[in-house]
Structure 1
């Protein structure tokens, strides 16, 4: 096997960088040689360090700071872990949600080189103006403002260089650490680290493909087209590639600009209604929502309008998941504990046995937190999220990522309503809407559609049946069909059941004959018995009794 030397060199250099940062935060000693550090020694010393820290909160802060300094992969990994409350403790989870997705600026020279490599044209051929100072600089990409030769003002999103190589090396290191941790602490195998890291890698690699992101942005523009007060930037496909997005520049003010929000001149309540309508319809009607909203990618505009400008993370929901979400939130608002718990377990995957009584009590705590608050201002959706996280972590239940992302999305929008000064109670608004959507599933049109789908499935099954059946018959004729049952305990049980049924049948027959004889001879005493013995034509009764008793004793 020939080693990939460049990859090995990158891995060694990356390990040195990680070790240097761990030394900075006093996780490992500087006296140890950084040149011989390995993933195993890194995770070993990190665990030793965690044992020295008495407060879980302090360890959580340490993890968050290290992740931020380690860059793109670890920032994204931390953000991804923040939606896995079945795996991460509540203290660490809360801290990971604070991860800042900001990195040092990429030099303009590198940005210019990337644009020209991706488009095959010089930057001056595409843009009449281009700002060298970025609008924002995050872990995946950097955004600049420019003006196309055709006069449109655009935002240019340029991916950071060499990200795939860096991410591949980092995930290799994480996998090595995870395998060692499982060997050291076997119960960690419950969390299936290999699957977890593979899922994270797939998610991150998809986020690196800006063609996918642009398609999602286009789709969101079409989905929300019936809401003219929501603005989604138009994509300029002629300049967009896997590492570059050129999109419409939208004038607006980020939620981070407190002074503007405090002095907002538009109708705040109308803005709140429109924000809520956008969130509700995109989730429950269209099954497609922006799953990573934050103050930096929501722009408030004049006339109570707003824009969403980043679609690196979106969620598409199938019909089954949407229906489950409908029931989940309906049950929470109308305090149907059975429906809530049932939906939770139906959609979730328990990784360990569940204490059903404790689980139900935790669900009641969640619903009561919603149900017994007198006003919207008393409801903390963040606290509700903490309860959900507690339920998942305590009972080791893995929910679909869409559930957790959705709740975090609602948590963000709830905070936004408060931030812009909107008095909005989502229980009163969502309850009737959810009820209406659930009722619509039982309308004739919806029922007919479901029946049509079922009939098509049956039609397909029936159309294939003759060929499949003929194939089975041919194999039987050729002696190629062999069916074996290897579950010996099942065979023993079936055999026991068969013997029991045989005995029961014989007992019924014998009891019937004896009962019949007694019925015929009632009141005759010994005369009836003598009559049977002396009567040749009645001897068949005795013969039948002997045969049946013999059969019974043999089976026994």
Structure 2
């Protein structure tokens, strides 16, 4: 199956590179199980299965991280997405994925100039009064340059690496096919939901390499902070922006990691922590559109205790109903309401997830929440509570909806940043006003009336459309076009086994017939005048041997599969 998929997509060379890296880092068994080794052997590719001694001492999470770094930008970005899936991977894996550094050697500016000229519609030297050809930063997807407009305003140019999109699209096609194979051929890896993760990753990465979309996200978030001068979002200069180029104001501030510089500049750490938390909580709980990667590298502190957010390539979205569920969950954690927490988590459970015992889950959540009863709000580590709660979900095989995995990761990152600035930072106290507003807004008369009208309209549509639906159903039945399809996995497997058994039986019968027929022919060939039949008898015996070997190999392979 994999051979056909890779052959159709013409990705064999890249598949060989991926297999070679996986084998070098000790994942040769995985390569064999997903059929990649057989595919490459048929293609004549040589694979070396020896594992270097240095790598043999690494733990599996570190090996995967090193392999992703070697495989390039697509896999580095995949690792960063996996770092948000705290519901699927244990902490040691999340920590390793979080260490993936999105950096790469800079492409010489001469290779960038042609693309820049095409995107700007003129040469960079004409478009800008000044342009520093030495990049400020070089990542796997883009390089960043400083420039100055003709009016004197400093800006940055975020330029997509030339020719990178075809490589990314090829990797995404291959990843999608590999995910399908893993789900089909490696049942113990199915709990990591490879197809779902790859779909989510594909959408995220395609948005991230579209710099025009990033500019729209920045403007949308900037619009929500009009009237709040303490929060700064770089201005977008649309006349030069496009899919491959993002031009925004240059932020000259103190990097979020440089706390010594924060103290030296006389900024108030406690105030910065509160303002940063307030800004991100507003994006999450009020706007439903938030910066999904608010780590210290994407945050700058400015004079006047202002905070600037940059890099809106990764954003998250939450519907109104999801924000309400999140508010109920967080409020339940803060107020020790275990029943409310359990109800929300069971509501989030994927319909295709393994069966979960609701009462057992409720009991574990009740025990978890009870340990915080009586603890002052200031002493609650909300990020740690969420991490522990997600670990309970992971043990029950429950995966979070994809829109929440980004949020929880961002929430935990946010609290970590707040505590770095202020060891006494109280995320629960900062979140409480937002939670109250979300809960009150959900139960406000206008909101209740709106949901009531929507439900009534749906009911009316259902009732008025019922006669038409029944008529179509009966018409299909009269024409003999009504079909009922029942898909039972166990019966499908039984059918496959019966098909293999019938094939073996057929080959066995044909083999037996060849043996009997050849014996008769060889007997007749001894009579005078029939010597020419001797060759025909020998061919029959050879065919019988081949058929017998085929049956034995089929039985042996079937035993290995089982």
The TM tier, using the shorter chain, reads 0.7 to 0.9
**Contact 1:239/1:246 (8 A) holds in 2:** yes
User: What CA distance in whole angstroms lies between the structure 2 residues aligned with 1:150 and 1:107?
Assistant: 28
Q: Separation in 1 of the partners of 2:184 and 2:5?
A: 26
Structure showing greater Rg = 1
Matched, 1:393 2:382: no
Whole-Å separation in 2 of the counterparts to 1:104 and 1:275 = 32
Match of 1:310 in 2: 311
Number of aligned residue pairs: 471
2:407 equivalent in structure 1:
406
Residue pair 2:28, 2:49 contacting (<8 A) in 1 also: yes
Shift of 1:76: 0.9
| 3-state secondary structure, aligned to 2:236 | coil
Deviations along 1:500-527, whole A, 9 cap, x unmatched? Answer: xxxxxxxxxxxxxxxxxxxxxxxxxxxx
Paired residue for 2:141?
140
Q: In the superposition, relative to structure 1, how do residues 69 and 348 fare at CA in structure 2: closer, same or farther (>3 Å)?
A: same
Q: Secondary structure at the match of 1:121?
A: coil
CA–CA separation in structure 2 for the residues paired with 1:292 and 1:426: 18
CA distance in 2 between counterparts of 1:167 and 1:463 reads 49
- Structure 2 counterparts to residues 97-496 of structure 1, below 5 A: 97-175=98-176, 177-182=178-183, 184-189=185-190, 191-349=192-350, 351-364=353-366, 366-368=368-370, 371=373, 373-374=375-376, 376=378, 379-381=380-382, 383-421=384-422, 423-454=424-455, 456-457=457-458, 468=468
Instruction: Sort the Cα spacing of 1:254 and 1:368 in 2 relative to 1 into closer, same or farther, 3 A.
Output: farther
Q: Does 1:62 align with 2:63?
A: yes
Looking at structure 1, the residues matched to 441 and 199 of structure 2 have their Cα atoms a distance apart, in angstroms, of: 39
User: C-alpha distance in 2, partners of 1:256/1:79?
Assistant: 19
Rounded Cα–Cα distance in structure 1 between residues aligned with 2:19 and 2:349? 36
Secondary structure of 2:294's counterpart equals coil
Q: Deviations over 1:320-379 (max 9, x none)?
A: 111111111111111111110110110221621223354234424653565565574x55
**Following the alignment from structure 2 to structure 1, what is the Cα–Cα distance between the partners of residues 474 and 20?**
66
Q: Is the 8 A contact 2:204 2:314 kept in 1?
A: no
Offset from partner CA, 1:460-506 (integer Å, 9 cap, x none) = 6678789x489769969x9669878899xxxxxxxxxxxxxxxxxxx
Tell me whether 361-370 or 204-213 shows the greater mean CA deviation. 361-370
Q: Is the 8 A contact 1:22 1:66 kept in 2?
A: no
- Whether the 8 Å CA contact 2:134–2:145 is kept in 1: the answer is yes
Structure 1 residues 28 and 458: alpha-carbon distance in aligned structure 2, compared to 1, 3 A threshold? closer
Change (3 A) 1:421 1:150: same
- Residues 330 and 311 (structure 1), Cα distance of their counterparts in 2 relative to 1, 3 Å cut: same
Residues 264-273 or 284-293, more deviating = 264-273
| Partner SS, residue 152 of structure 2 | coil
**SS of alignment partner, residue 88 of structure 1:** coil
**Runs (5+) with no aligned partner, structure 2:** 30-35, 487-562
**What is the CA-CA distance between 1:114 and the residue it aligns to?**
2.1
Q: Secondary structure at the match of 1:398?
A: coil
User: Aligned partners of 1:205 and 1:294: how far apart in 2?
Assistant: 21
Structure 1 residues 191, 418: CA separation in 2 closer, same or farther (over 3 Å shift)?
closer
399-408 or 317-326, which deviates more: 399-408
Cα distance change, pair 464–4 in 1 and its aligned pair in 2 (3 A): closer
Whether the aligned pair in 1 keeps the contact of 2:281 and 2:434 (CA below 8 Å) is: no
CA distance 1:445–1:67, shift in 2 (3 Å): same
Kept in 2: contact 1:156–1:247 (CA 8 A) = yes
The 1:321–1:202 alpha-carbon spacing in structure 2 relative to 1, beyond 3 Å, is same
Q: How far apart, CA to CA, are the structure 1 residues paired with 2:12 and 2:238?
A: 36
**Aligned partners of 2:50 and 2:196: how far apart in 1?**
22
TM-score using structure 2 length: 0.73
1:158 to partner: Cα distance: 0.7
Aligned twin of 1:529: none
Structure 1 residue 239: Cα displacement: 0.7
Residue in 2 that maps onto 1:515:
none
TM-score norm. by structure 1 comes to 0.74
2: CA distance, partners of 1:305 / 1:126: 31
**Stretch deviating more after TM superposition (88-97 or 247-256):** 88-97
The separation in 1 between residues aligned to 2:163 and 2:222, in whole angstroms, is 31
- 2: CA distance between counterparts of 1:482 and 1:7? 37
Distance in 2 (alpha carbons) for counterparts of 1:474 and 1:281: 53
Compared with structure 1, are the counterparts of its residues 232 and 64 closer, same or farther at alpha carbon in structure 2 (3 Å cutoff)? same
Whether the aligned pair in 2 keeps the contact of 1:272 and 1:422 (CA below 8 Å) is: no
Q: In structure 1, what is the Cα distance between the partners aligned to 2:280 and 2:317?
A: 14
Residue 270 of structure 1 contacts residue 304 of structure 1 at CA under 8 Å; is this kept in 2?
Answer: yes
Pair 1:369–1:151, CA change in 2 (3 A): farther
